[in-house]
Amino acid sequence: MTQQAIRADGGAGMTVIGPIPGDPQGFHQRLLLSGLRFAPIPVRTALYSLPMGMVIAAIDERCTGYLFATDGFEAPESDLYRFLSAELRDGEGVSISGEYAPDPDRTIRSEAHFRFVGGRLMCAEERVLLGPNGQRELLRSRTDLAFANVVPIRPRLPDLGFEP
């Protein structure tokens, strides 16, 4: 089943984190303990083994492709940076991506790529609104490198192909 079929089949969104460095279950527990969530309310998550490594995914109508804080709002960058800085070793990276449909004709797709380099967490992020007839509106774009001259740190995470 594709992401489109999952979304059309109940309006589900999706959030995926990976590849997970080290122990994925420990990573997920520490993520929750740090106050970061896949949705504003608890949702079911699953681990998948992909060629790129282990990923944690949640498919639910409240998932958006980005993480939330325990207050139900999008997680502050400082919380996310603090968590990932403690989790990643030099040279390691992780991506957080996904999408949701605020209404039947529009989809919001988010991709954030993080890599720990030389003691500093680097980030490239983009959030776009995809509308009918191929319309594309950039909602958010930022990078730690000048002029947004960034090659993605990791390729886009693949469609999982089935509902967990």
Overall pTM > 0.85: no
* pLDDT of 22 higher than 50: yes
pLDDT of residue 152: 44
- Span 59-104, pLDDT tens digits: 999 999 999 999 999 999 999 999 999 999 999 999 999 999 999 9
| 35 backbone φψ class: left, alpha, beta (φ>0; ψ -120 to 50) | left
| Residue whose entry in the numeric block shows the structure tokens 């995470």 | 157
Q: Identify the bridge partners of residue 7 per DSSP, sorted by sequence position.
A: none
Cα separation, 134 vs 136, whole angstroms: 6
- Residue 120 pLDDT level (bands cut at 50, 70, 90): confident
Domain boundaries, the chain: 3-148
Q: How confident is the model at residue 41 (pLDDT cuts 50, 70, 90)?
A: very high
Average pLDDT, the chain: 84
Instruction: Say which residue the tokens 């990932």 belong to.
Output: 84
Determine contact, residues 66/17, Cβ cutoff 8 Å.
no
What 3-state class would DSSP assign to 77? helix
How far apart are alpha carbons 51 and 130 in whole angstroms? 28
pLDDT band at 157 (very low <50, low <70, confident <90, very high): low
Q: Tell me the per-residue pLDDT of 44-63, one tens digit each, with 9 for 90 and over.
A: 999 999 988 999 999 999 99
Q: What confidence score (pLDDT) does residue 158 get?
A: 52
Burial class of 109 by CB neighbour count within 10 A (0 to 12, 13 to 18, 19+): buried
pLDDT number for residue 85: 93
pLDDT at 143: 79
Whether 131 shows a pLDDT value over 70: the answer reads: yes
